[in-house]
Structure 1
């Protein structure tokens, strides 16, 4: 291996972790409990595919985590973990510092991994969530069927896989019920809506079958929260459904919900409060034992059955303050960015977790298990989304619904700039702005989750942050026929293909040299513009280059690998004019310009690719 290859190895490892390993690990974390034999196997998957890779990525590129250290929720998490570990000093029972250090660190790297995942593969997050929800739905449907077949009145459903407790099972049933609820409130495609409604009903039925009441309270809080975030006709329908469903449950299932009494919650909380009063400020210590046995229960309970009381017991008021701050700040951040569906989903999950934590839980820093779905996972997603939104890597521009009459009024007297056999693709409107149409695809594509109009706008935004000139997006639209569109101000200039066609040989050579330098700049910044050709590069009136037609693009964590650079070059070789000007007449000028920003090895690689195709 060449020395330059050795130098690039850390970048390729970092890219592989962010692009492939972390998505796989996050997917397993979300749905692994439904089919894995026990939690210990989930722990191994999480450590091997998420926590440890996130640590390796941190060691490879520590400078990339400055943004994370400026996020208030993450700072509060570090303070909370630091205080919890400090409390081991006065804890009456300590297994050893290193042993107690592992769970908090794995929880910390949940936030680090989510930050990397959303920073570099945000386009994959919604498909990952959807895929995990489908897996959860399939296994829940099977378990619900088996439960119904053998149902007896006193039986409470326990999920399959690694589940071993009705209440803990209900946490995940409720978690994915909230997912389908959120999807039904935010999706604009009718097929997804008609899938989300029965899917949510199945997860809700499974939650009821566990006989647990805590998730019902949590689900009500989540539904109220999402209704406020998405106040529209669907919100009114949701509130109406809650009222009708509440009456139905009270009538049909009241005996099942009431006959278990308070489950000794009030007695447990009273004992916990007495223990908290013994050391209210600093707590009993992170790993202090908690054992209570209310009169008549006959066994010992090791949790206070309330996350808030658990935090107060273990780390006192000092630890409780950053813990509460994380939740309050998380909800506030999501409210500020509530135009984005992912923020709505993450905050609704957080609202659900806060509700479920009122009467459940107690362990404050644990290994991956059901309790992670109540607070840690939603908070980790909120932190990562917030950082991307502040850095303008995440599109937070609202999408407007455009009915048929409004669309026709907008397109009156519009000039067709580009069309195909199905009709116009780009229109110049009366005000001089452009309207680019992305038609609905008949079959599944990635545009089902990340519409091409929104990709276009997000890519324009991200490239401008990197110093690349792109069109300025005015508005995003969902059209009545399922298509979507983006309205933008066009750049002032001519395509490089048009400029080269009218230039003298000397001028053409200079333009090609500058284009080589520009292409190297894109590659060194990790920008893989699949449609890169001379018709999509503008020579701006003020000098320099700009990019158009940006829906098909990806920005990699590191500079592009040599294979991606070659693939980018092959695309340009398809066009006869481009090939003649760039690779026949002015090849040396192109390579000279490329070498001004790229390494000698990259230049040699491109030259080899050109020679192979001649």
Structure 2
């Protein structure tokens, strides 16, 4: 009982971390710099709400590490971090403690681990999180631009509020979210989102211009070229034309800003850095080494203003190889899985960071700050997406546009299985397959970020990997009226409700209810919360096994379902008169016996109490 109680407690803690703490921590990681008074508090929020919770989650469930250490990007990162820590052996010996040197690398690794856990267990919330962070950044940027316009005079550069204290570093964050809105404008399917993304992109781009920094302009150009390549469609042509026109406009309107500072001594800085690199080209000067460069500007610089040169200086060619590999592999994975929109957003961020890193930066592993937005944040997201894409937890099918003529041809002579006041909802096509329609939702709801047709396909694939039979998805469609549709091959069999209606022998019905009790317990123990669970959505297949249909309204939790979620599932089934009579009145003992074959004693007792409470509600006094 003590072991069981500990397992239950650890599962609830793990679930709470993955479902609530990590999303909050990730949102603040992306957006908190806009409103926090300094970076120190940003560090603490990341440690307390993302890094440390990720470590606790991995300690509670070490098996989660298995998938993580199979990812090439994470393996290369481990090699890079290990080599950087090993370089402390030949780096300068200072007074800082060894654990203090390891902390930045550990927190970077935990960023990847936490991102994996977040996508693994809350994949449906990733797009809303990114959107929410971008909205926070948009509102803060509008305010910053307004305040800047009130004090502007020639030569003044926008820094921004919150934790921003440098125009160049501020431009990285403005450019990061400008790249996000640019990505959204390329992948969004609804006009309302396009009408928001284009002005939002213009606002963020204006902020980039106001910082007076040229580095993000180069980075955004590369990001736009990458987007037109990875999303090749009619919008790509528009983007390329806009890029040419916009580039010409920026060159004309801001020519002075672009040329008056020349190359900002970059060539001299790089030449000096290469001379220092040549002293120890293979192993570098050490992760904790200091760098001082004097290009003749009257003061010394601490960075080579190029990320690759920084890596070469600190950890040499041996460190540069895994550094180059995890970026190249991340882009290759993004191209391979580009059907998933999140890969397009994350890879665009990575390209932006690569572009910005050509003339900026130099530190290789640091505490959370602006440079994380150029490399570690997009790369961690790509690694997390790749792991879960391979495990078939994310959408793997393209969503095609279904024109009215094509829809009419597909649905010709189809049998209407289900309909509502707006028309057909489920059609049996002439070839025996099914087409299920999902009505258009408001653009700001979760159904806009994760259409129910796509949820159906993803849930179906996940359940099959868990050994639960589900319909095979044949195609996903988007209709011109904003609705979505899923085309699938049905499971051969009858609903459990139909089978029970056809059974006349009580003993046979009782045996079937007992088997269903065991099946329901298996779902609950595997963390499957099927909100629409009732006997009409459970099929009895030709081989006698159970399968599930109508899968859009379903969620898979990290651990077995809590008692409260099991109660909610039962209450849903109790709403149907015939189901309630068969399951909770005539054959309730059989249902309990089947449920007890898999579920814990406490879960069985909870089911018993739930049914008794529903059967004998308290009378009002």
Structure 1 segment 530-541 matched on structure 2, within 5 A: 530-541=531-542
Q: CA deviation digits over 1:365-411, x for unaligned, max 9?
A: 00000000001001100100000011111111100011111111111
Structure 1 pair 156–444 and aligned structure 2 pair: CA distance change class (3 A): closer
- Quote the Cα distance in structure 2 between the aligned partners of 1:179 and 1:445: 19
CA contact (8 A) 2:121 2:557 kept: yes
- Quote the Cα distance in structure 1 between the aligned partners of 2:383 and 2:371: 18
Match of 2:273 in 1: 272
Match of 2:197 in 1: 196
Match of 1:186 in 2: 187
Match of 1:71 in 2: 71
- Quote the Cα distance in structure 2 between the aligned partners of 1:443 and 1:200: 19
Match of 1:607 in 2: 608
Please identify, of 400-409 and 354-363, the stretch whose mean Cα deviation from structure 2 is larger.
Answer: 400-409
In the TM superposition, residue 119 of structure 1 has moved relative to its aligned partner by 0.3
- Quote the Cα distance in structure 2 between the aligned partners of 1:387 and 1:441: 30
In the TM superposition, residue 222 of structure 1 has moved relative to its aligned partner by 0.6
Match of 2:550 in 1: 549
- Quote the Cα distance in structure 2 between the aligned partners of 1:443 and 1:317: 49
CA contact (8 A) 2:442 2:448 kept: no
Match of 1:132 in 2: 133
- Quote the Cα distance in structure 2 between the aligned partners of 1:7 and 1:457: 32
In the TM superposition, residue 146 of structure 1 has moved relative to its aligned partner by 1.1
- Quote the Cα distance in structure 1 between the aligned partners of 2:150 and 2:437: 51
- Quote the Cα distance in structure 1 between the aligned partners of 2:82 and 2:446: 42
Match of 2:407 in 1: 407
- Quote the Cα distance in structure 1 between the aligned partners of 2:157 and 2:567: 59
CA contact (8 A) 1:19 1:120 kept: yes
- Quote the Cα distance in structure 2 between the aligned partners of 1:304 and 1:442: 49
CA contact (8 A) 1:566 1:609 kept: yes
Structure 1 pair 55–442 and aligned structure 2 pair: CA distance change class (3 A): closer
Q: CA deviation digits over 1:100-145, x for unaligned, max 9?
A: 0111101110000000000000000000000000000000000011
Q: Structure 2: which 5+ runs fail to align?
A: 616-621
- Quote the Cα distance in structure 1 between the aligned partners of 2:242 and 2:99: 50
Match of 1:591 in 2: 592
TM-score, with length taken from structure 2: 0.98
CA contact (8 A) 1:92 1:285 kept: yes
3-state secondary structure, aligned to 1:339:
coil
Q: CA deviation digits over 1:538-594, x for unaligned, max 9?
A: 000121100000000000011111111111111101111011000000011000000
In the TM superposition, residue 5 of structure 1 has moved relative to its aligned partner by 2.9
- Quote the Cα distance in structure 2 between the aligned partners of 1:125 and 1:377: 13
In the TM superposition, residue 430 of structure 1 has moved relative to its aligned partner by 1.4
- Quote the Cα distance in structure 2 between the aligned partners of 1:393 and 1:507: 38
Match of 2:143 in 1: 142
In the TM superposition, residue 7 of structure 1 has moved relative to its aligned partner by 3.0
Match of 1:435 in 2: 435
Q: CA deviation digits over 1:498-547, x for unaligned, max 9?
A: 11111121111011000000000000100000000001000001211000
- Quote the Cα distance in structure 1 between the aligned partners of 2:424 and 2:453: 15
CA contact (8 A) 1:399 1:475 kept: yes
Structure 1 segment 36-435 matched on structure 2, within 5 A: 36-94=36-94, 95-295=96-296, 297-435=297-435
In the TM superposition, residue 441 of structure 1 has moved relative to its aligned partner by 2.2
Q: Structure 1: which 5+ runs fail to align?
A: none
3-state secondary structure, aligned to 1:37:
coil
CA contact (8 A) 2:307 2:360 kept: yes
CA contact (8 A) 2:87 2:287 kept: yes
3-state secondary structure, aligned to 2:536:
helix
CA contact (8 A) 1:93 1:289 kept: no
Instruction: Count residues with an aligned counterpart.
Output: 613
- Quote the Cα distance in structure 2 between the aligned partners of 1:443 and 1:233: 23
Q: CA deviation digits over 1:14-34, x for unaligned, max 9?
A: 000000000000000000000
Q: CA deviation digits over 1:457-491, x for unaligned, max 9?
A: 00000000000000000000000100000000011
- Quote the Cα distance in structure 2 between the aligned partners of 1:290 and 1:177: 32
CA contact (8 A) 1:414 1:428 kept: yes
